[in-house]
Amino acid sequence: MLTAVAAVESAAAEVRHAVLANRDTAQAASRLAGAAAELARLVTPAPTVPTDEPPAPPVTKPVTEDKPRTSRAKRPARIAPLDLDTVRLERSSDPTRTGWRVLAGAEDAPVLVGFLEPMLSVTGRRSGRWEAQTASLTRVHGGPWRNRTEALARLVDDYQRAASRPRRHTIT
């Protein structure tokens, strides 16, 4: 059986070569037909097994649903301005962050505003200055600040400005 399959593949290659070389394909096509007939003679179809189940009904409606596609990516959710009375500091439980997490909102669903971290001097000691980072770990412009309270005020101000900034409407 493998030799019959190889003969069909060889004959198909001859037909392909004849077509690409712009030669007469009649002789190569007859070889292909003969090899295919020999392979068909060797292959016996599998017997069909009768089943007691009736055939499935024909499909009358599509199985998949067409959903409209948008070419734009979804906009990130707009951040809401903070209630300043709910802003609080918590020590960071992350061993890589030595500072404080700034949270706001309800106790059961807080919003992460950012982080406050003490700056270190060249020798690795605390320098007394503080750096503020947003929740996406970008530094707040203008720092480092003299104390933690000033860094907190700048971080909250940066968050409030981002929340109140109008959305840009672009034409695409």
pLDDT per residue as tens digits for the range 111-125: 888 899 888 878 877
Specify the pTM: 0.50
Rounded average pLDDT over 67-71? 70
| pLDDT of 136 over the 90 cut | no
Rounded Cα–Cα distance for residues 113 and 138 (Å): 12
| pLDDT of 101 over the 60 cut | yes
Contacts of 18 (CB under 8 A, 6+ apart): 24, 25, 28
Q: Quick check: 31 and 11 in contact, CB under 8 A? A: yes
| pLDDT of 172 over the 60 cut | no
For the record, the structure tokens of 18 come out as 């004849």
Q: Where are the alpha helices (DSSP H) in the chain?
A: 2-20, 26-42, 148-164
Rounded Cα–Cα distance for residues 110 and 99 (Å): 18
Q: Is 105 helix (H, G, I), strand (E, B) or coil?
A: coil
The conformation of residue 115, written as its DSSP 8-state character, comes to: E
Confidence band for 71, pLDDT divided at 50, 70 and 90: low
Q: What is the pLDDT of residue 73?
A: 65
Rounded Cα–Cα distance for residues 93 and 76 (Å): 28
Rounded Cα–Cα distance for residues 114 and 140 (Å): 10
| pLDDT of 108 over the 80 cut | yes
Rounded Cα–Cα distance for residues 102 and 109 (Å): 13
Rounded average pLDDT over 82-92? 86
pLDDT per residue as tens digits for the range 13-59: 999 988 888 888 899 999 999 999 988 888 877 666 666 777 778 87
Q: Which residue has the higher pLDDT, 67 or 108?
A: 108
The conformation of residue 122, written as its DSSP 8-state character, comes to: T
Rounded average pLDDT over 60-77? 70
Rounded Cα–Cα distance for residues 139 and 111 (Å): 18
Q: 11: how many CB neighbours lie within 10 A of its CB?
A: 19
Rounded Cα–Cα distance for residues 41 and 58 (Å): 34
Q: What is the pLDDT of residue 168?
A: 66
Question: How far is CA 170 from its chain centroid?
Answer: 24
